[in-house]
Amino acid sequence: MDKRKLLFGALILIGLSFLLMFPWFSGSYYSHILILVYLNVVLAVGYRLLYATGLGSFCHATFYALGGYASAILGQKVGLPYVLCFVAAGIVPAIFALVIGWPSMRVKGPYFFLTTFAFFMVMDSVFRHWTRLTNGSRGIINIPGIAPIGTMRPYYYLAMALMAVTILVMYRLDRARFGTELLAIGDDEELASSVGINVTANRLLAFSIGAMFAGFAGSVYASYISFISPASFSLLSTIFVLVWVVIGGPRKLWGPIAGAVVMTLVAELLRMSGTLQAILYAIVLLIAILVIPRGFVGLVDDLRARFGKGEEPTLGAGLEADASGM
Amino acid sequence: MPILETSNLTKRFGGLEALKDIGLSIEEGEIIGIIGPNGAGKSTFFNVISGFMKPTTGRVVFDGNDITGKSAARICASGLVRTFQGTKLFMSLPTVENIQIACHVPARTNLLGDIFGTPGTRRRERDARKRVSDVVKLAGLESVVRELPKNLPHGYQRSLGVAIGLAANPKLLCLDEPVTGMNAEETQLMIAMIEQLRREGVTILLVEHSMRTVMGVCDRVVVLNFGRQIAAGTPEEIQCNEEVIQAYLGSSDEVFT
């Protein structure tokens, strides 16, 4: 095991321990920010799955909302134990993703953006007007979860655990054939079909899995805050996720993670208002597209190339042919 | 039984008849060339038989199965694989992964197997690795496996394009202008690869502009013009065919280069 990997592993371990101990020595303000970071990472890596195939949706926040509402309604109105609420929070958006995804994927990128935007608008309206179910704009209060309302520490660990599991699953998917297929589709749809890749099926799966994890995150969020309303999931919410993925770089898993972490920390630590955040995101997105179109990931790849190291294999590394066997 | 048989294959785009009543029959192990002036319908023909376009009327039967109108991915899975003109590659994947991704053409993706690494997945990966290394050797790409396609010289990129098609385990490989834009040396390498493929039992369908290549390597040649089949036969027969000569002289193509 070479020194670099050892050092890297040690850093990860230290970072992990730090994060695990965090709520014990820090105030609730910073722990709250980290909870948001963890949930946003889940959103970002979920969004990235479909985005890597060249389709950007406009309804990721809707899946977040669907999960939150499903969890809240089943918990607060029906009284189911949280575990069931959590699971339902993943299933509901996943099903919606399949249902609206299937017809939407027959159209090209920009039109997919529009159909998912339409879905967002419809669901926003449903959340606001189906008051019997959702309490409309007033929202649902006193949402139960894994701990009494108002506690933070259990939710800190729940969010962290969700993020860890999500990253693990995404990592395995990346290294498997599925991950390489997604990248291939993003590179050239036609060529991918010509080698037997079912483009629509792969995209639907990616869309669904991303929606599922967004739903889980929504459930944690709803129970943590103990409150949910349509105002939490605005037009901008999905755009924020899009920006995390774009500035991070969708080609590798760590890109959207870095994007989500950096942007969430900046916005929260600087205590930016909604308007200021919108401006920040707009500027950041413009700069990213002009200067670092492939995101942080692209930046690192360019630096690597500048300093003479070869390109690291991207996805599907689990299938890598042994160079010495050639 | 012929490996590929088309009957009355017709493709209309609105008022334009890109293909009219194409009927041809290809036996296993043959190398068939399809030639014709620009706009004759050669690429349309490829698109229709490989599932990228649906024919207006007519049938395509591959290996005994009717594949008319099936999707490209399905047709590829049944053994009819096509390559594209020019360089069409997965630009963000290293060379070896370009080939790997075409490798096991499974009927369904086994997602849970992928996440948990089940024995079935592992066996598929082992078989895939062997096939990948075979294809890399055949295409002469051993020295550049880790490179991104954008860093490859032009000839290697074209070989990679064919290698991707090969990796998909074709019974019939349809090459769309494999040597267009290549120099003499690159062309020779491609021809050698094609002949090696025949020895390995792959049937080959070739669309080409370069008459010299077609005459040199094909068993039979089919000539299209304005969507119709105007001649079919051995290269020698075609070269003497009046209608063929007329068709080419009527266009601005360089013919017997």
A247 contacts: CB under 8 Å, gap ≥ 6:
A259, A262, A263, A284, A285, A288, A292, A295, A296
* B162-215: pLDDT as tens digits: 999 999 889 999 999 998 888 888 888 889 999 999 998 899 999 987 778 888
Q: What angle do CA A186, A95, A58 make, to 5 degrees?
A: 50
Say whether pLDDT at A284 is over 90.
yes
Q: Which helix (H) or strand (E) holds B133?
A: helix B119-139
Say whether pLDDT at A260 is over 90.
yes
Q: Looking at the structure, tell me whether residues B44 and B114 fall in a common domain.
A: no
Q: Looking at the structure, tell me whether residues B135 and B235 fall in a common domain.
A: no
* A164-193: pLDDT as tens digits: 999 999 999 999 889 999 999 999 999 999
Q: How confident is the model at residue B253 (pLDDT cuts 50, 70, 90)?
A: low
Q: What angle do CA B100, B106, B110 make, to 5 degrees?
A: 100
Q: How far apart are CA A270 and CA A258, in angstroms?
A: 18
Q: Looking at the structure, tell me whether residues B247 and B174 fall in a common domain.
A: yes
Which one is predicted more confidently, A2 or B112?
A: A2
Taking the CA of residue B187 and the nearest CA in chain A, the distance in Å comes to: 23
Q: Looking at the structure, tell me whether residues B176 and B238 fall in a common domain.
A: yes
Say whether pLDDT at B256 is over 50.
yes
Say whether pLDDT at A325 is over 80.
no
Mean pLDDT of chain A: 90
**CB–CB of A217/A36 below 8 Å?**
no
> 3-class SS at B116?
helix
B8 contacts: CB under 8 Å, gap ≥ 6:
B21, B22, B23, B57, B58, B59
Mean pLDDT of chain B: 86
**For B96-113, b where at least 16 C-beta lie within 10 A, e where not — what string?**
bbbbbbbbbbeeebbeeb
Q: Looking at the structure, tell me whether residues B186 and B72 fall in a common domain.
A: yes
Mean pLDDT for B136-155 is 90
pLDDT value of residue A271: 87
Give Cα B188 distance to the centre of its chain.
18
pLDDT value of residue A315: 43
Q: How far apart are CA A211 and CA A162, in angstroms?
A: 14
pLDDT value of residue A64: 97
Mean pLDDT for B123-146 is 86
* A interface with B, Cβ–Cβ below 8 Å: 169, 172-173, 176-178, 180-181, 183-184, 186-188, 190-199, 201-202, 205, 251, 310-311, 313-316, 318-323, 325-326
Say whether pLDDT at B247 is over 90.
no
Q: How far apart are CA A220 and CA A155, in angstroms?
A: 7
B204 lies in some domain: yes
The number of folded domains in chain A is: 1
Model confidence, pTM = 0.87
| Residues A321, B137: C-beta atoms closer than 8 Å | no
CA–CA distances in Å: residue A317 to residues A110, A322, B206: 31, 11, 34
A79 lies in some domain: yes
CA–CA distances in Å: residue B60 to residues A190, B23, B29, B177, B236: 21, 9, 19, 22, 28
Residue of A nearest to B73 (CA): A196
B86 lies in some domain: no
Q: Which domain holds residue B253?
A: 1-79+170-257
A86 lies in some domain: yes
Cβ neighbours of B76 in A, within 8 Å: 193-196
Q: How confident is the model at residue A308 (pLDDT cuts 50, 70, 90)?
A: low
* A234-257: pLDDT as tens digits: 889 999 999 999 999 999 999 999
> 3-class SS at A312?
coil
| Residues A319, B114: C-beta atoms closer than 8 Å | no
| Residues B93, A184: C-beta atoms closer than 8 Å | yes
pLDDT value of residue A72: 95
Q: Looking at the structure, tell me whether residues B36 and B117 fall in a common domain.
A: no
Cβ neighbours of A196 in B, within 8 Å: 73, 76-77, 102, 105, 168
Cβ–Cβ pairs < 8 A, chains A and B: 135
**CB–CB of B78/B170 below 8 Å?**
no
Most B CBs within 10 A among A174, A194, A198, hence the mutation to make, goes to: A194
Q: Looking at the structure, tell me whether residues B68 and B179 fall in a common domain.
A: yes
- Tell me the H-state helices in A105-234: 109-129, 131-134, 153-175, 177-187, 189-194, 199-225
Q: How far apart are CA A40 and CA A30, in angstroms?
A: 15
B163 lies in some domain: no
Residue of B nearest to A179 (CA): B114
Q: Looking at the structure, tell me whether residues B47 and B152 fall in a common domain.
A: no
Cβ neighbours of A176 in B, within 8 Å: 114-115, 121
Q: How far apart are CA B34 and CA B211, in angstroms?
A: 10
* B34-78: pLDDT as tens digits: 998 888 888 899 999 999 999 999 999 998 899 998 989 889 989
pLDDT value of residue B14: 87
Q: Looking at the structure, tell me whether residues B74 and B152 fall in a common domain.
A: no
Q: How far apart are CA B1 and CA B27, in angstroms?
A: 7
B87 lies in some domain: no
Cβ neighbours of B93 in A, within 8 Å: 180, 183-184, 187, 314-316
pLDDT value of residue A324: 38
Give Cα A246 distance to the centre of its chain.
12
A316 lies in some domain: no
Give Cα A70 distance to the centre of its chain.
18
Mean pLDDT for B85-111 is 80
Sign of CA dihedral A203, A209, A213, A218: positive
Mean pLDDT for B10-33 is 90
Q: Looking at the structure, tell me whether residues B55 and B182 fall in a common domain.
A: yes
Q: B191: burial class by Cβ within 10 Å (0-12, 13-18, 19+)?
A: middle
Q: How far apart are CA A10 and CA A181, in angstroms?
A: 32
Q: How far apart are CA A218 and CA A228, in angstroms?
A: 10
Q: How far apart are CA B67 and CA A325, in angstroms?
A: 38
Residue of B nearest to A298 (CA): B92
φ and ψ at B62, to 5 degrees? -115, 125
Which of A199, A313, A326 faces B136 most closely, judged by CB atoms?
A: A326
Question: Which CATH number is B62's domain given?
Answer: 3.40.50.300
Q: Looking at the structure, tell me whether residues B207 and B175 fall in a common domain.
A: yes
The number of folded domains in chain B is: 2
Strands A227-228, B65-66: pairing is unpaired
Give Cα B107 distance to the centre of its chain.
21
Say whether pLDDT at B252 is over 70.
no
Task: Flag whether residue B107 sits within 8 Å of chain A, measured between CB atoms.
Answer: no
B residues 146..165 contacting A (CB < 8 A): 146-148, 164-165
Most B CBs within 10 A among A173, A191, A311, hence the mutation to make, goes to: A191
pLDDT value of residue A8: 87
pLDDT value of residue A279: 93
Q: Looking at the structure, tell me whether residues B256 and B178 fall in a common domain.
A: yes
B134 contacts: CB under 8 Å, gap ≥ 6:
none
